[in-house]
Amino acid sequence: MRTDVLGVAFDNVTIDEAVDRALALLEEEGPHLVVTPNPEIVQRAEKDPEFAGILAQADLVLPDGVGVIYAAKILGRPLRARVPGIDFAAALLARIAGTGTRLFLLGAAPGVAELAAVNLRAAYPGLVVCGFHDGYFKEDRPVADAIREARADLVFVCLGAPKQEKWIAANGAAAGARLYVGLGGSLDVFAGKVERAPESFQRLGLEWLYRLLKQPSRIGRMAKLPLFLVSAVGARIRKK
């Protein structure tokens, strides 16, 4: 049973449970979709019915942002754990390395996916990265064809929300993979182009603060988090 947080229903799972479910989906005929909404994505879905519908139909909906966790508590239906998309991806790669599962990387600027592939192969011995493509394409079909020709089982789609989820919904079946995971800017991290917050920030759920300190231009986006929590308070009051 899923937990509704301001219109998006999340799976109430730990990261290990999420990986177990993803592995089970890889054993089934696809396409299957994993999404990792944070507060900004939840807010966007509220204004985009098509996007909201895709999230609702996803096979696994993981609470990426600490704001989602706070909002769930405010609403009186707490989630068991925050499951950041990049941590989920890393845990999944650790489990599939050496199994023959074929991974395709899609997104980011030209050259980034290739570098991410090199780093991931080094970090997870036995990992099969069967192909990659940057996110700067104009036509969907050649990309879907490339994924199918690579015989990919798993695709990390890093085009940013909602573009990545809409791309998967429109092209996942044609591309032929069993599991697609929407992962935003994760390829930049895997490639070493963007530094993650120190573990101390991660443990405290303050990665957003670290990113703001590194990129003050994000202040406009970060300012939406308090509004998101205010919305949760309002929803709790209306329910009462």
The pLDDT value recorded for residue 214 is 61
- Which H/E stretch holds residue 34? strand 32-35
pLDDT in tens, 107-149: 999 999 999 999 999 999 999 999 999 999 999 999 999 999 9
More confident residue, 232 or 117: 117
Question: How would you classify residue 103: left for phi > 0, otherwise alpha for psi between -120 and 50, otherwise beta?
Answer: beta
The pLDDT value recorded for residue 230 is 83
Q: pLDDT tier at 172 (50, 70, 90 boundaries)?
A: very high
Q: pLDDT tier at 178 (50, 70, 90 boundaries)?
A: very high
Query: Are residues 30 and 12 in contact, defined by beta-carbon separation less than 8 angstroms?
Result: no
| Token pair of 19 as six digits | 């990986």
Residue 35 backbone dihedrals phi, psi, to 5 degrees: -120, 155
Q: pLDDT tier at 65 (50, 70, 90 boundaries)?
A: confident
**What is Dmax (Cα atoms) for the chain?**
54
More confident residue, 178 or 236: 178
What does pLDDT average to over the chain? 92
The pLDDT value recorded for residue 59 is 98
pTM of the shown model? 0.91
pLDDT in tens, 186-231: 999 999 998 766 777 666 666 655 665 566 655 556 556 777 888 8
The pLDDT value recorded for residue 34 is 98
Residue 102 pairs in a beta bridge with 128
- Which H/E stretch holds residue 212? helix 207-214
* Mean pLDDT in residue range 17-44: 96
| Token pair of 14 as six digits | 């730990």
pLDDT above 60 for 44:
yes
Closest CA to 178 of 161, 145, 155, 144: 155
CA distance 33 to 180: 5
